[in-house]
């Protein structure tokens, strides 16, 4: 058993059963330590984590420079309200905006960042323009505005009535978007690559088409880059691969390498529409998250991790493309850096358990898409180790189909 574990996995599970609201589906494993791409359970078993922190651990578990930055910051200042200036918040804002555009507002999570972005869009549009167009299979978070923006009925069940003003369009259909716009529409919100929806990559001209529609109809284009941002796709931000700059961009997950942190970035001329008192976040921009974020940016650049993400993504693609030649159940292989989806023609959920039994952690979304979000610093050996296990699990699904 690990030296940092005082209980077995089963003892911790029993503690949860007694005191924690059971609204999450959890695997019967208690994780007690992480280092790089690996985690260990209470019994000392090691797992290769290809879905660390749902993509939040963008540098793997406990990256040394981020750990040191948090330790040093905690010794001097843990939290102050946003009624004061802090050096680290200004520096992290500079680090984000000089690699993207505009000005930044800090929050705690992706959902909170999306809430702020939608409020800003309505405030900026004014004149009764409040409608926002979002897309089928998109995902924007679990707060009320964000879950309403999420055009998936399963997330709306039992919550109605939802917030007014949202219209849903099919992904990759410009004509459908144009038909939904009226004089009350203020913005279009989407992920430049849908993550939870199945790692869905838009057609080459789709984002350019949306930009053109927004410019012609005086709408704001909002990209939810909660998952695609911070180097996930092999560029700092997903929009940079398309050449289409949004008016507002939301960020979270990998922003501070696993420390809770969200943000939205907007063009300079839009920022004044968010006047004092209209929006706030008590913990947003707190010194610990800012120190972690700065250390994350420096690590990505000093270790050339954007290039590594691109190279390792192609290495994953090679494994799964070869398997596609072997197995007809593989419908598609979608890869952008360290954002990987393998779509099957059969249910894939069982692959999660089979990989876990072999010491590899993965995710399946929408029942048929094997989804991997490895850290940017994964090595070639770890790619080969993980891909071999995932491929074997898919072969077993094919044999049973």
Whether the Cβ atoms of residue 169 and residue 176 lie closer than 8 Å to each other: yes
Distance (Å, rounded) from C-alpha 106 to C-alpha 88?
A: 12
Closest CA to 391 of 333, 337, 308: 333
Whether the Cβ atoms of residue 30 and residue 9 lie closer than 8 Å to each other: yes
The contacts of residue 363 (CB under 8 Å, 6+ apart) are 51, 54, 352, 370, 371, 372, 373
- Residues annotated as catalytic (active site), given as ranges: 139, 224, 253
């Amino acid at each position: 058993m690990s030296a940092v574990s005082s209980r077995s996995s089963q003892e911790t599970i029993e503690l949860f059963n007694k005191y924690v609201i059971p609204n999450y589906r959890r695997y019967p494993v208690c994780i007690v330590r992480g280092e790089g791409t690996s985690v260990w359970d209470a019994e000392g078993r090691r797992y290769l984590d290809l879905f660390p922190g749902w993509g939040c651990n963008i540098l793997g578990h406990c990256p040394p420079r981020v750990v040191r930055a948090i330790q040093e910051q905690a010794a001097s200042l843990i939290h102050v309200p946003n009624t004061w200036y802090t050096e680290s918040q200004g520096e992290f804002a500079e680090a984000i905006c000089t690699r993207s555009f505009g000005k930044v507002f800090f929050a705690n999570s992706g959902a909170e960042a999306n809430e702020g972005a939608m409020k800003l869009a309505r405030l900026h549009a004014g004149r009764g323009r409040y409608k926002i167009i979002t897309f089928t299979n998109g995902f924007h978070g679990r707060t009320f505005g964000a879950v309403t923006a999420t055009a998936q009925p399963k997330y709306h069940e039992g919550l109605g009535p939802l917030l007014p003003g949202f219209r849903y369009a099919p992904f990759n259909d410009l004509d459908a978007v144009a038909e939904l716009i009226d004089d009350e529409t203020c913005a279009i919100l989407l992920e430049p690559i849908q993550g939870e929806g199945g790692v869905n990559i838009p057609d080459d001209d789709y984002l350019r088409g949306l930009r053109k529609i927004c410019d012609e109809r005086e709408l704001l284009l909002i990209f939810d880059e909660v998952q695609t941002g911070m180097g996930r796709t092999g560029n700092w931000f997903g929009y940079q691969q398309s050449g289409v700059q949004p008016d507002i961009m939301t960020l979270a997950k990998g922003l501070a390498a696993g420390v809770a942190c969200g943000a939205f970035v907007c063009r300079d001329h839009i920022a004044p529409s968010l006047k004092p008192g209209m929006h706030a976040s008590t913990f947003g921009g707190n010194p610990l998250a800012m120190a972690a974020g700065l250390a994350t940016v420096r690590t990505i650049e000093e270790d050339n991790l954007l290039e590594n993400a691109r190279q390792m993504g192609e290495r994953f693609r090679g494994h799964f493309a070869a398997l596609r030649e072997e197995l007809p159940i593989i419908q598609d292989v979608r890869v952008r850096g360290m954002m990987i989806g393998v779509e099957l023609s059969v249910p894939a959920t069982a692959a999660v358990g089979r990989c876990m039994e072999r010491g590899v952690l993965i995710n399946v979304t929408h029942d048929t898409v094997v989804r991997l979000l490895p850290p940017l610093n994964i090595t070639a050996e770890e790619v080969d180790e993980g891909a071999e296990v995932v491929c074997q699990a898919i072969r077993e699904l094919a044999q049973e189909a």
